[in-house]
Amino acid sequence: MSNYEKAVRLWQKKNIQTDAELSETLNGHSIAFAYHSGKIENERVTYHDTREIFEHDGVTGYTGDLRTLFEIRNAKEAYELFLCAFRDRRPLDESLILEFQFQLTNNTYDTRRWQLGERPGEYKKHDYVTGKNEIGATPEDVPEEMAELLDELQEVKSEKILTAAAYFHAKFENIHPFADGNGRTGRLAMNYLLVLHEHPPITVHEEDRKGYFEALEAWDERQELEPLACFLRWQTEKTWEKQISRAKKLL
């Protein structure tokens, strides 16, 4: 049995049914996820500041920029929404994705975006492209492309959920539906899809961003999904390696 399979089995053995059980299982992982997801986009995010905000709702002696502080605080708010959505078994639909993005980007849009009419929790109104391939749907196409993507997830089987999650994340980032926060929103929404289907959430580690971006580019350039699916299996192992090691010692 691979370490990936062990991670999935350990998660499923917990039979998590409530938001309290999910919160307990994710103790510590929620901070790591928020730190790594934020750090991928913003080098000024630190683990210390993230932990302080998650555990104490504030930081002492902070000397960084306010946007970074807002981003970390927003990650905590988004995590709380994640738990509430799981409690209510909300489907991963357009309204929830818009709420995730709002929580993650509230009070962080810069002056230029705000003057262009962009708002947190709304699809982009102007063209924003990203990556070396300059991907991103046109604003007028975003609602339809997002609706098609979410429709494709309705009948997904739990045994195929990692592949489905990889597909969702690749397509979501390719659509690039928002003026800002696409990566953080996509990673959070992907994890929500995973936990709904009894699969452990995945921390995409910031030190592995090169492989992460290469896997996303494989989809953008050639519609190859396996590089991203393979990357996510590896990151699952890395995310839960301590639990896997602990389980081995108990055998």
Using CA atoms, how far apart are residues 178 and 244, in angstroms rounded to an integer? 37
The model's pTM is 0.95
**pLDDT, the chain, mean:** 94
Q: What is the 3-state secondary structure (H, E, C) of 113-144?
A: HHHCCCCCCCCCCCCCCECCCCECCCHHHHHH
Tens digit of each residue's pLDDT (9 = 90 or more) over 79-104: 999 999 999 999 999 999 999 999 99
Using CA atoms, how far apart are residues 60 and 176, in angstroms rounded to an integer? 35
What pLDDT, on the 0 to 100 scale, is given for residue 127?
87
CB 165 within 8 A of CB 194: yes
Could you say which of 3.90.550.10, 2.60.120.10, 1.10.260.40, 1.10.3290.10 is the CATH number of the domain covering 3-250? 1.10.3290.10
On the question of pLDDT at 46 being above 60, the answer is: yes
CA torsion, points 221, 222, 226, 231, in degrees to nearest 10?
-10
Domain coordinates in residue numbering, the chain: 3-250
Does the annotation list 180 as a binding residue? yes
pLDDT-derived band of residue 247, with 50, 70 and 90 as boundaries? confident
On the question of pLDDT at 133 being above 80, the answer is: no
Does the annotation list 187 as a binding residue? yes
Tens digit of each residue's pLDDT (9 = 90 or more) over 141-160: 999 999 999 999 998 888 89
What pLDDT, on the 0 to 100 scale, is given for residue 16?
97
What secondary structure letter does DSSP report for 135?
B
pLDDT-derived band of residue 130, with 50, 70 and 90 as boundaries? low
Does the annotation list 113 as a binding residue? no
What pLDDT, on the 0 to 100 scale, is given for residue 245?
86
CA distances to 85, 126, 174 from 146, rounded to whole Å, are 20, 16, 11
Catalytic residues: 176
Burial (CB count within 10 angstroms: exposed 0-12, middle 13-18, buried 19+), residue 250: exposed
Does the annotation list 28 as a binding residue? no
